[in-house]
Structure 1
Amino acid sequence: MHDALRVLRIVTALLFMAHASMRFVNGSIPQFGAFMESQGFPHGQAWVLAITCCELGAGSLLIINRGVRWAASGLAVIVAAGIWLIHRHSGWFVGEHGTGGSEYSVALLAMLLVVAAHDAAAASRRDSRTDEADPHG
């Protein structure tokens, strides 16, 4: 089970890092910034840069297995906001049945929640072992 969760954590990280990197490669940061401003976010380009840096940073943390719960939770907030601001207006499907829908984002959100929950459970197990080993608490 741990190998499967490790693969899920790393693949999820790589998906976010690839997605974020493409904003630089395609030069789409100004367009995304303009969209953010149209949605009421001042300084849209700054928001996009912050989102992009978070996706790259959190993805890196997931890969090296550090701060996993926080990294996955932060990415989950970004995905939820993306669903609300962008994808919900395009329906459910992505691919052959639709364009830009929520389907893929909901799958990513589920992946992130599993990764975060597993890390929280692992941390709880580590804490209980530490408490048992330290009689002074």
Structure 2
Amino acid sequence: MTAYDFALLLLRVVLGLTMAAHGYNKFFGKGGLAGTAGWFDSMGMKPGIFHARVAASTEMAAGLGLALGLLTPIPAAGFVALMFVAAWTVHRHNGFFIVKEGWEYNLILAVAAVAVAGTGAGKLSLDYALFHTSGVYDYLHGWFGLLIAVVLGLAGGIGQLAIFYRPPAPKA
């Protein structure tokens, strides 16, 4: 095992389990899915129950997929879509810094996931174990992996906002 492969494993697992924990919290945290749905409704993501389920499921699937290094650009795209929507709906009016609930954290998670898609998941991943002897592996890292993560992620996030986001009217 090289330091490079261990470092990628460490990054993938921490990023992935962090995202999966957010999804788990939406399902089972204080207020559960119903509380998450109410919050989504209040911010203009309607119907809230649909978006709560989609967000929680995507966070868990993308998180676990990245942690395992399975079809890495796809979960990375999930990170991009999730963080784009979160940054736009919740954090953009608060500026950059997380200490003021800005979009800094969203940017870091999305860019880190894209970087993993670009470098590849490493030898300690399911991508390597399942695909390294096939031509599929070439599409799971490098420019292909990076482009899949960015293009698919932005398309998903922008599409979700365009179709469903209806911001509440400003308070007088």
State TM-score, norm by structure 1.
0.77
Deviations 1:54-94 (A, max 9, x none): 11112122222212110111121110111111111111112
Tell whether the 8 Å contact from 2:9 to 2:121 is kept in structure 1 after alignment.
Answer: no
Residue in structure 2 matched with residue 58 of structure 1 by the alignment: 62
**Take 2:134 and 2:119, find their aligned partners in 1: how far apart are those partners?**
12
Instruction: Say if 1:33 and 1:48, in contact at 8 Å, map to a contact too.
Output: yes
Answer with 1 or 2: which has the greater Rg: 1
Distance apart, 1:119 and its partner CA: 2.5
Residue 42 of structure 1: how far off its partner (Å): 3.0
| C-alpha distance in 1 between matches for 2:30 and 2:121 | 36
Letter in 1 for 2:89: L
Name the CA distance, whole Å, in 2 between partners of 1:129 and 1:14. 23
Q: Distance in 2 between matches of 1:59 and 1:116?
A: 13
What residue number does 1:127 align with? 135
1:135 aligned partner: none
| Contact 1:69–1:120 (8 Å) recurs in 2 | no
> Could you say what secondary structure the match of 2:29 adopts?
helix
User: Counterpart amino acid of 2:120?
Assistant: D
Structure 2 CA distance for partners of 1:45 and 1:65, relative to 1, 3 Å: same
29-38 vs 42-51, which moves further: 29-38
Counterpart residue number, 2:12: 9
C-alpha separation between the residues in 1 aligned to 2:14 and 2:105? 14
Runs of 5+ in structure 2 lacking a partner? 123-127, 139-172
> What RMSD, in angstroms, separates the aligned Cα atoms of the two structures?
2.9
Q: How has the CA–CA distance of structure 1 residues 94 and 29 changed in structure 2, closer, same or farther, with 3 Å as cutoff? A: same
Whole-angstrom CA distance in 1 between matches of 2:23 and 2:97: 22
1:37-116 matches, cutoff 5 A: 37-95=41-99, 98=100, 100-116=101-117
Give % identity: 25
Q: Name whichever of 9-18 and 34-43 sits farther off.
A: 34-43
CA contact (8 A) 1:69 1:116 kept: yes
* In 2: Cα distance, 1:105 partner to 1:129 partner: 28
* Number of the residue aligned with 1:133: none
Cross-structure match for 1:134: none
Change (3 A) 1:40 1:25: closer
Residues 1:36 and 1:76: Cα distance change in structure 2 (over 3 Å)? same
Amino acid at match of 1:21: Y
Higher relative contact order (CA 8 A, sep 6+): 2
